[in-house]
């Protein structure tokens, strides 16, 4: 492996982490993908970035496909190389982007496993708010389903991110992009119950919205475990995890409204094709789509 190439990759990964503020998960994936690409370059004696042409990238992609790598993983790898070359061009280390014209094999887009409205109601309504953990977990699940948040988004929420008067949550999503999402009535009720318990814990200097009994911010793994616990309690088939609740939010909103653009905005998807895995509908404009459509936001 050429040391200069590895140094350039390290500079790129630092740029993603420190300047672009990308998640640790994304940076880790890019590091793995680019390590594979550098090994390919070394095997083919391509030691300068300017020596690499589109046909080399295609050869690399074909090799990944022959190894049985999924279309989605190959697309991510190609995206990493494109982003890397954009960085090299910005730094004056490359004149063009040989990966730009290369297409990855298309992967089938399938609707993720989700829960229907009755299953969601059973999960949420049967989580009794009779102790601190149950109240906290109920608020977490209600907020996931109410507002379609990603796991990392919910885990990073602070008290100040909730607008209790206007019933809104201010979210920082992928790529450090911000959005504002409504919170449904039942989720607001659950949050208020949780905050009463949170006040009793008396960790007033802690800014995190969801905390442990010891006053620490509730972590991603703990949230996953708690949702799985409640799924087992309610005897729900398959594992209940945060992304299933996000999927349920998206699917139920689309079923009720048919407004793909609105759901795209609520989910924080940059590309509407990502939202289209949930359904195939004609675009419509519906005023106040959230309040009218979401099964747990409708007024009594």
Positions marked active-site: 150, 174, 243, 246, 269, 278
Find out whether 95 and 50 touch, Cβ atoms under 8 Å.
yes
Find out whether 5 and 41 touch, Cβ atoms under 8 Å.
yes
Q: Using the structure block, give the residue that is written with the tokens 């389903």.
A: 145
Residue positions counted in the chain: 300
Residue among 257, 266, 252 at smallest CA distance from 289: 257
Q: Is 200 exposed, middle or buried (0-12, 13-18, 19+ CB in 10 A)?
A: exposed
* Alpha-carbon gap, residue 139 to 221, rounded angstroms: 17
* Alpha-carbon gap, residue 293 to 284, rounded angstroms: 13
| Pairing state between β 168-172 and 162-163 | antiparallel
Q: HSE, CB side, 13 Å, CA atoms: give it for residue 168.
A: 10
Q: What distances in angstroms separate CA 270 from CA 21, 28, 198, 289, 290, one per listed residue?
A: 16, 21, 35, 20, 19
């Amino acid at each position: 492996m050429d040391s200069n190439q590895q140094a350039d990759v390290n500079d790129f990964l630092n740029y993603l982490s420190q300047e672009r503020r990308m998640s640790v998960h994304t940076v880790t994936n890019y590091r793995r993908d680019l390590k594979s690409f550098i090994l390919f370059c070394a095997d083919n004696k391509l030691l300068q970035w300017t020596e690499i042409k589109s046909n080399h990238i295609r050869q690399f992609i074909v090799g990944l496909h022959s190894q049985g790598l999924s279309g989605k993983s190959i697309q991510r790898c190609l995206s990493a190389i494109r982003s890397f070359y954009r960085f090299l061009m910005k730094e004056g280390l490359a004149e063009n982007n040989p990966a730009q014209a290369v297409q990855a094999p298309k992967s089938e887009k399938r609707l993720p496993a989700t829960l229907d409205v009755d299953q969601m109601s059973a999960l949420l309504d049967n989580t009794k708010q009779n102790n601190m953990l149950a109240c906290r977990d109920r608020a977490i699940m209600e907020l996931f389903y109410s507002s379609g948040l990603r796991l990392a988004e919910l885990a990073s929420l602070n008290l100040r991110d909730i607008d209790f008067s206007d019933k809104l949550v201010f979210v920082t999503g992928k790529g450090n992009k911000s959005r504002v999402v409504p919170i449904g009535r039942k989720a607001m009720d659950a949050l208020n119950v949780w905050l009463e318990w949170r006040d009793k814990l008396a960790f007033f200097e802690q800014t995190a919205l969801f905390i442990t009994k010891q006053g620490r911010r509730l972590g991603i793994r703990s949230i996953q475990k708690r949702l799985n616990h409640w799924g087992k309690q309610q005897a729900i088939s398959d594992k209940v995890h945060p992304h299933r609740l996000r999927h349920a939010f998206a699917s139920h909103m689309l079923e009720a409204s048919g407004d793909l653009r609105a759901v795209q905005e609520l989910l924080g998807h940059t590309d509407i094709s990502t939202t289209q895995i949930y359904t195939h509908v004609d675009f419509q404009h519906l005023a106040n789509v959230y309040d009218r459509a979401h099964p747990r936001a409708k007024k009594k």
